[in-house]
Amino acid sequence: MTGPSIIYTYTDEAPALATFSLLPVVQAYASTAGVTLETRDISLAGRIIASFPERLAPEQRIGDALAELGEMTADPYANIIKLPNISASVPQLKAAIAELQQKGYDLPDHPDDPKTAEERDVRARYDRVKGSAVNPVLREGNSDRRAPASVKNYARTHPHRMGAWSADSKTNVVHMPADDFRSTEKSAVVQREQTLRIELVDAQGRTTVLRDKVRVKDGEVVDAAVMRVDSLRAFLSNQVARAKGEGVLFSVHLKATMMKVSDPIIFGHAVRAFFPKTFARYGETLHAAGLSPNDGLGAILKGIESLPEKSEIQACIEAEMAEGPKLAMVDSDRGITNLHVPSDVIVDASMPAMIRQSGHMWGPDGKEADTLAVIPDSSYAGIYQVVIDDCRAHGAFDPATMGSVPNVGLMAQAAEEYGSHDKTFEIASAGTVRVVDAAGNAVLEQPVAIGDIFRMCQTKDVAVRDWVRLAVSRARASGDPAVFWLDQDRPHDANLIAKVRQCLPEHDLTGLRIEIMSPVKATALSLERIRRGENTISVTGNVLRDYLTDLFPIMELGTSAKMLSVVPLLAGGGLFETGAGGSAPRHVQQLLKENYLRWDSLGEFLALAASFEFFAEKTGNKRAQVLASTLDKATETLLNENKSPARKLGSIDNRGSHFYLALYWARELAAQTADAELARAFVPVAARLNDSEQTITQELLAVQGSSCDIGGYYRPDSKKAEDVMRPSRTFNETIATLGSGVASAAAD
């Protein structure tokens, strides 16, 4: 990178395909202002390829873009636009590996049970790729997520559909009453910079080092918690019986992507609990065949195809499906259940979708039904029950009148990365897990049994201080009350509360309303206020940040992808995330089948405007500010003119929305008075796009209705993907006329 540039990340699935269409437009417009947009490949496939350079041909090798961007976050001029990426579960990781192998990449298989040093090395490399591998590297700052005024105004004037609620709804959330992460948590504040070690001391006094050299800083909060497997199994079995007794759907809501170590294991226990006879009779057979419930029912059904016992196992599974409660479905038409794939039902997206849909999920019969939502850990399950109880009592929320709950989230320097990293373990022998200092003194201890899940996490003092600063700044800028969602009765939260109370007096709090409440009470307050049309800033830890920036936006806006997500980096740079809507695998499936992509790039538009504005502030490039302000206006016009992607074939899709953004943006640039030369450059572009509107839309619509080939799912062929995503020759030729003769005066 030569001089300040904007880094636009290439990721996965629908956002990656949209990039083929949108980025050429943005690069052309930005070039007129002397702003360069570079790309970095942080896709799942790209990260896999970068992990094994020694096995690949020179032309196949790519650099480690994620590591490069991680270093870049320490640059005060860093300006990174981060699109949603796959947080890979093991089945997704294996599928990506298989696709790359078919494309000629000499990659090793994923070793489920590594035995040799080579297999352990391969497994360690893949472990660094799976789950939430990207976010902890890039998020060297805390999160500021909110709905821009234009988006909120549009939602109020064009409210999305909310399902009606009945006072008789039997939908509920259930969590473990004890022996989960919340109830076993222990927390301590480290007093000096040092190195800790996590070790397991078994019943015979033998010590196994689980993790060596955990570096901590002065004032850092460290936690250790255990989910006890015997209690988990009993709890899950009880919930299967409860769902059957109450006549409701059974569903499990976890985060097997972000919490890549703990939650797939918990998911596997849920699969076992639903099919106890199958695993009692055939568990050893399945294990010998390399089939794990952690990978989901779908992987088991696929894996037994080659087994001699296939018919018996399949019959047993079908019998237990018939005997048990009805399972919530991911896709009832295709028979994809809640237990098929661990990454299919992600709690932060699935719970608000259920709440928006009258508290219903889809059953095997293709109809909506009340649901028992099983969220085993009690840390935050209660917030969803509060929302369900509120809807049962007062009915569905009204997007036309409801207020907002923006979020300031604690996530800098991998704060509260629970269950997703190298400090989470499935315990192999009974004993005690100890977190000890260099002298061998125990900082934290947890008794454990075989199969228990132990996790430790860290939250650095500098991250907490910046979090408090950001919360006060947002409260001051918005005039809205800010509530820290912290529970005094939880050890980790108690330590954070002490730090928050120490930091708050360092800021001017005059006229501000800042409170500290438990998550359950904070949820109730926020709901009470949004029903009155009032806004309340939620100031939360990392996991709640993830949950709430889906929960409230999905109720308010219909999607979390319309949020503006800014991460002011600790070093002074900026990370701009394009919403919280995931990477939309179903959208890709529809594109391949019908050549129709309904991914909404609104999050990209919002992030780009914020990125251009930040670029202008950092570099003094006045034209970048013009790009930002005109893009904001163009985005508002796009919303008001209803040019976002529709859901129905034959309407404009993602590519059509990019054309209309380009049209409205060119109009705004041509009409603005801040830079006459820049305006003159866009007058002919705006005119040509305007005159060619019918031709361009016809060219875009003409390709719909038949299948298309992008040359791969996890690693599309660039040429094929570009051809599919840029089918309008007229549009492409118009955009190509930009970029000459204007940018030289950009920074004058």
* pLDDT (tens digit per residue) in 64-74: 999 999 999 99
How large is the average pLDDT for residues 314-325? Answer: 97
Mean pLDDT of 377-386: 97
Do residues 147 and 553 lie in contact, with contact meaning Cβ atoms separated by under 8 Å?
A: yes
Predicted confidence at residue 259, as pLDDT, reads 84
Instruction: Please list, in sequence order, all residues whose beta carbon lies within 8 angstroms of the beta carbon of residue 733, skipping any fewer than 6 positions away.
Output: none
The whole-angstrom distance between residue 406's C-alpha and the CA centroid of its chain comes to 17
**3 state DSSP class of 356:** helix
Q: What is the pLDDT of residue 580?
A: 60
Instruction: Note the pLDDT tens digit of each residue in 662-708.
Output: 999 999 999 999 999 999 999 999 999 999 999 999 999 999 999 99
Q: Which H or E run includes 458? A: strand 453-459
Q: Residue 274: pLDDT above 70?
A: yes
The string of pLDDT tens digits covering residues 623-635 is 999 999 999 999 9
Do the bridges between strand 368-374 and strand 407-409 make them parallel or antiparallel, or are there none, so unpaired? unpaired
Confidence of residue 201 (pLDDT cuts 50, 70, 90): very high
pLDDT at 2 over 70: no
Over residues 50-93, the pLDDT tens digits come to 999 999 999 999 999 999 999 999 999 999 999 999 888 888 99
Say if residue 263's pLDDT is above 90: yes
pLDDT given for residue 489 in this prediction: 97
Count Cβ atoms below 10 Å from residue 706 Cβ, excluding itself: 9
Supply 706's token pair: 């038949």
Residue carrying the six token digits 């590297």: 137
Q: What is the DSSP letter of 713?
A: S
| Sign of the dihedral defined by the CA atoms of residues 329, 335, 339, 343, in that order | negative
Tell me 399's DSSP state: T
pLDDT in tens, 115-151: 999 999 999 999 999 877 888 899 899 999 999 888 8
pLDDT of residue 559: 84
274, 250 Cβ separation under 8 angstroms? yes
> What mean pLDDT, rounded, does the chain reach?
94
> What HEC string does 284-322 produce?
HHHHHCCCCHHHCHHHHHHHHHHCCCHHHHHHHHHHHHH
pLDDT tens per residue across span 577-621: 986 666 788 899 999 999 999 999 999 999 999 999 999 999 999
Q: Write down the pLDDT at residue 742.
A: 52
Q: What is the mean pLDDT of residues 190-210?
A: 95
Residue 131's Cβ-side half-sphere holds a number of Cα atoms within 13 Å equal to 24
Tokens 């016809």 belong to 698
383: tokens are 């917030």
Please tell me the pTM assigned to this model.
0.86
Structure confidence at residue 260 as a pLDDT band (50, 70, 90): confident
Instruction: Please determine, for residue 746, whether its predicted confidence score (pLDDT) is greater than 70.
Output: no
Phi, psi (deg, nearest 5) at residue 617: -65, -40
Give the mean model confidence (pLDDT) for residues 508-513.
97
For the residues 288-295, what does the mean pLDDT come to? 95
Please state the rounded mean pLDDT for residues 345-356. Answer: 94
Q: How far apart are CA 482 and CA 496, in angstroms?
A: 16
Tokens representing 176 are: 């473990």
> Is the pLDDT assigned to residue 31 strictly greater than 90?
yes
